Amino acid sequence: MQDARSVFDTLNTEYLAVHKTKEDLFWDTYMAVSDDDAGFARAEGAYKSFISDPARLASVRQALARLGDATADDGATASLRHGLKGWLALFEANIVDSDAARQLMSELIQLEADLFSKRRDLVLRHTNEAGQVEDATLSMLATNMGTNRIEAARKSSHDALMDLERWVLANGWLDIVKKRNAFARAQGFPNYFDYKVQKNEQMSSDQLFTILDDFEVRTRAANTRALSDLVQAHGANATQPWNLRFFVSGDVTRQLDPYLSFAKGLERWLQSFRHLGIAYRGATMQLDLLERKGKYQNGFCHGPIPPFFNAENEWVAGQINFTAGAKPDQIGSGARAINTLFHEGGHAAHFANVTQNSPCFSQEFAPTSMAYAETQSMFCDSLLDDADWLKRYAHNAQGEPIPDALIHARIQTTQPFAAHGERSTLVVPYFERALYRLSDEQLTADAVLALARATEQRILGVAVGPRPLLAIPHLLNQESAASYHGYLLANMAVYQTRAYFEKTYGFLTDNPAIGPALSEHYWARGNSISHNDTLLSLTGEPFNAKYLADSCNQTVDEAWAEAQSMMAAAAARSYPPAPAPDLDATIRIVHGAELIADNSESDQAMCQQFERWVGQHYPATVQ
């Protein structure tokens, strides 16, 4: 057993070192604090080499064999066996079996580092709310299309995304796609998409598309009907890609803006999570929330130190970073910012609460299922759409709660497009599967653009998506490429989870039973159990897509009646006090290398520091 213990402890120690080195450089380069792209590529290569090392896999298998028959395990041996099985799963999910495949992975890492370096220097521009042409991040482009009342300005944002598509195709991404396919074939898979689905979700692409095809059929009529009704109400131009988001939610987003200010977002996140009974078990968290030139333009949550109980049974708390790309003086930025705080904060809560005996169980990469990981974050951000959450937290500068009429207007505009919203996720795996099935000779810029447009037409029902497929940053990075279906699988699990809590407790907003239930059933065991088993543990039923499809197919009247019932019940409810005075986390709010605020004094003081900083730099946003 001692030899097995030595193997296990060495893996834990060495993994922490290589993982933290890679993640620290990831953060600095993606946040544009450092331009050490070569250093990050080396660290990424070292990490990939570690998790795909056949020698380490062999040592784990030998250590497990030396432990003998599991029926004779005492507590210490059972714990050690459990930890080694975690390492076995990690190596088997990431192993690269041939020298040719390892060489291809090394080449892939370099190609992606080169593309990222060039992408960081690319400047996109559009016309903003004030009629000025300005540099714009992806978040700014999306928000402008949703809120700007001038059609030409909205079109300028979409034109920038179309330019980004052409830039991606002209700057090496197709070479990356070919190299990914070569890597997958060297591993015995027909293409990269099939490889990723099997490795990340432990299912075949055929099994995945049995689920996706069913959902596509269930929501097709609702999507077609919503687009037809939009054209009837606003004319044929309403479904132009630069107009669609505006006519779906633009005016309501504008009206919501005073009730969801950016400066108050941090405080509302802290309060809401605390009242849900969510805590972070002593984690250190770093948040970079504002747009900045050169900064990566998509929110993410990564953990340089995955938490675990070490060999002395001491708790090693997590170190977690997450980011957003908000522009506080842009209409709608407050809503986008709080969505990111809840989403990435949900990821952080998940990974901070994995209570196993090795960091291999609490990291965000395979064998951690993306669908499983995204269930945690998307459950948290789903609360922001609930009428009782809005009534309780969405207040204007005078302290007045959001009016019922505005919640009704929001439902009137967004509910008909619930199916379209989910299909905006669904379109990505349909495109990526077809993309990776193309031969190298077929992978030309024109062919790939034609495939993107055809897929958008078939799944979204429009000639070009509001967010063109090749402008989605997930497609560029190998960790997230061929994984986007995880968001849709996750949302199916989210609505199943919501249904369970509603049935069990009658409400979700500020329900202090939710955090402990998620911690026990979804978080504590990390990737040591499957996504489906977490759902069985909490809800008592296996994965079921019905709940999300039913929600998408609700009428406006049904959704509004549900909202009214939620608000009435909340008004009559006596909420219990929050179970903890804070989130049990050390939190730093940064802007690149600048420290904006922290909770070294208190969470309240941090929120006040943050509001003051926003007021000083964006005075028009704080009243």
472, 617: one domain: yes
* Phi then psi dihedrals of residue 541, to 5 deg: -135, 150
**Average pLDDT rounded to a whole number, residues 434-450:** 98
Count Cα neighbours of 103 within 13 Å in the Cβ-side half-sphere: 4
Residues near 288 by beta carbon (within 8 Å), at least 6 away in sequence: 31, 295, 321, 322, 323, 324, 589, 590, 591, 592
Tokens of 591: 């802007």
* CATH number, residue 321: 1.10.1370.10
Residue 432 included in any domain: yes
| pTM metric for this prediction | 0.92
CA dihedral 199, 204, 208, 209 (to 10 degrees): 140
How are beta strands 594-598 and 585-591 bridged, if at all? Answer: antiparallel
pLDDT at 305 (0 to 100): 98
- What pLDDT sits at residue 250? 63
Confidence (pLDDT) at 86: 98
Indicate the angle between helix axes 151-170 and 138-147, nearest 10 degrees: 150
- Out of 95, 130, 146, a domain closes at 95
Give the mean model confidence (pLDDT) for residues 75-104. Answer: 93
Are residues 24 and 168 part of one domain? Answer: no
Query: Does any domain span residue 269?
Result: yes
Q: Which residues of 537-564 are buried (b: 16+ CB within 10 A; e: fewer)?
A: ebbeeebebebbbebbebeeeebbebbe
The pLDDT, as a whole number, for residue 614 is: 94
Q: Is 574 exposed, middle or buried (0-12, 13-18, 19+ CB in 10 A)?
A: exposed
35 and 150 together in one domain: no
Q: How far is the C-alpha of 219 from the C-alpha of 422, rounded, in Å?
A: 9
Tens of pLDDT, residue by residue over 49-66, are 999 999 999 999 999 999
Q: Is 126 found in the same domain as 84?
A: no
Q: Which residues contact 538 (CB under 8 A, 6 or more apart)?
A: 497, 500, 517, 518, 521, 522
Cα separation, 65 vs 81, whole angstroms? 10
Is 551's pLDDT higher than 70? Answer: yes
Whether the CA torsion 236, 241, 246, 248 is positive or negative: it is: positive
- Please give the backbone phi and psi of residue 510, each rounded to the nearest 5 degrees, phi first: 60, 30
Secondary structure element (H or E) that encloses residue 458, with its range? helix 445-460
Helices 531-539 + 370-382 axis angle, to 10: 40
pLDDT in tens, 457-508: 999 999 999 999 999 999 998 889 999 999 999 999 999 999 999 999 999 9
Tokens of 552: 């998408």
Mean pLDDT of 512-533: 96
Q: Cα–Cα distance between 285 and 100 in angstroms, integer? A: 39
Q: List Cβ neighbours of 263 (8 Å cut-off, separation of 6 or more).
A: 328, 334, 610, 611, 614, 615, 621, 622
pLDDT at 146: 92
Please, how many CA atoms are within 13 Å of residue 573, restricted to the half-sphere of its CB?
Answer: 18
Both tokens assigned to 326: 């908000």
What confidence category does residue 200 fall into, taking pLDDT thresholds of 50, 70 and 90?
confident
pLDDT score recorded for residue 576: 72
In a domain, 124, yes or no: yes
What does the pLDDT read at residue 202?
86
Task: Report the 10 Å Cβ neighbour count for 414.
Answer: 18
Residue 623, pLDDT above cutoff 60: no
User: In this structure, what are the phi and psi dihedrals at residue 303, rounded to the nearest 5 degrees?
Assistant: -120, 100
* Containing structural domain, residue 284: 117-621
* Cα–Cα dist 366/52, whole Å: 11
Position 98 confidence tier, pLDDT thresholds 50, 70, 90: confident
Task: Say yes or no: 143 and 58 in one domain.
Answer: no
With CA atoms as reference, report the closest residue to 176 among 580, 455, 480, 424.
Answer: 480
Q: What is d(CA 460, CA 429) in angstroms, rounded to the nearest whole number?
A: 13
pLDDT band of residue 578 (cuts 50, 70, 90) is low
- What is the pLDDT at residue 69? 82
How does residue 580 score in pLDDT terms, banded at 50, 70 and 90?
low
Question: For 383-418, how does the pLDDT look when each residue is reduced to its tens digit (9 = 90+)?
Answer: 999 999 999 999 999 999 999 999 999 999 999 999
Residue 581: CB atoms within 10 Å: 10
**pLDDT value for 7:** 97
What phi, psi does 562 have (nearest 5°)?
A: -65, -40
Do residue 226 and residue 121 come from a single domain?
yes
d(CA 182, CA 2): 41
Residue 302 β-bridge partners: 321
- Residue 103 maps to a domain: no
In a domain, 102, yes or no: no
Residue 238 clears pLDDT 80, i.e. is over it: yes
- Shared-domain flag, residues 87 and 124: no
Q: Considering its fold, how many domains does the chain have in total?
A: 2
145 within some domain: yes
Q: Is 60 exceeded by the pLDDT of residue 37?
A: yes
* Same domain? 19 vs 166: no
Q: Is residue 105 part of a domain?
A: no
Helix count (H) and strand count (E) of the chain? 25, 9
Same-domain pairing of 190 and 277: yes
Domain boundary among 95, 126, 159: 95
Closest by CA to 184, choosing from 236, 258, 108, is 108
> 118 is written with which tokens?
């060039």
Same domain for 162 and 194 = yes
**Comparing 67-71, 162-166, 373-377, 396-400, which segment has the lowest mean pLDDT?**
67-71
Domain end among 61, 95, 129? 95
* pLDDT tens digit sequence for 306-330: 999 999 999 999 999 999 888 898 8
Domain presence at residue 107 = no
Looking at the predicted structure, is the pLDDT value of residue 184 above 60?
yes
Cα–Cα distance measured from residue 501 to residue 539, given in angstroms and rounded to the nearest whole number: 9
Question: Residue 351 pLDDT > 60, yes or no?
Answer: yes
User: Computed from CA positions of residues 64, 65, 69, 73, in that sequence, does the dihedral angle turn out positive or negative?
Assistant: negative
Please give the pLDDT value at position 1.
Answer: 57
Question: pLDDT-based confidence at 97, cuts 50/70/90?
Answer: confident
123/76 same-domain check? no
HSE toward the beta carbon, residue 313, CA cutoff 13 A? 3
Same domain, 137 and 228: yes
Using a pLDDT cut of 70, give the percent of the chain over it. Answer: 98
Q: Which of 95-104, 282-291, 463-472 has the lowest mean pLDDT?
A: 95-104
Q: pLDDT at residue 134 above 90?
A: yes
Q: What is the pLDDT of residue 299?
A: 86
Q: Angle 499-501-505 (CA atoms, 0-180°, nearest 5)?
A: 125
Q: What is the mean pLDDT of the chain?
A: 94
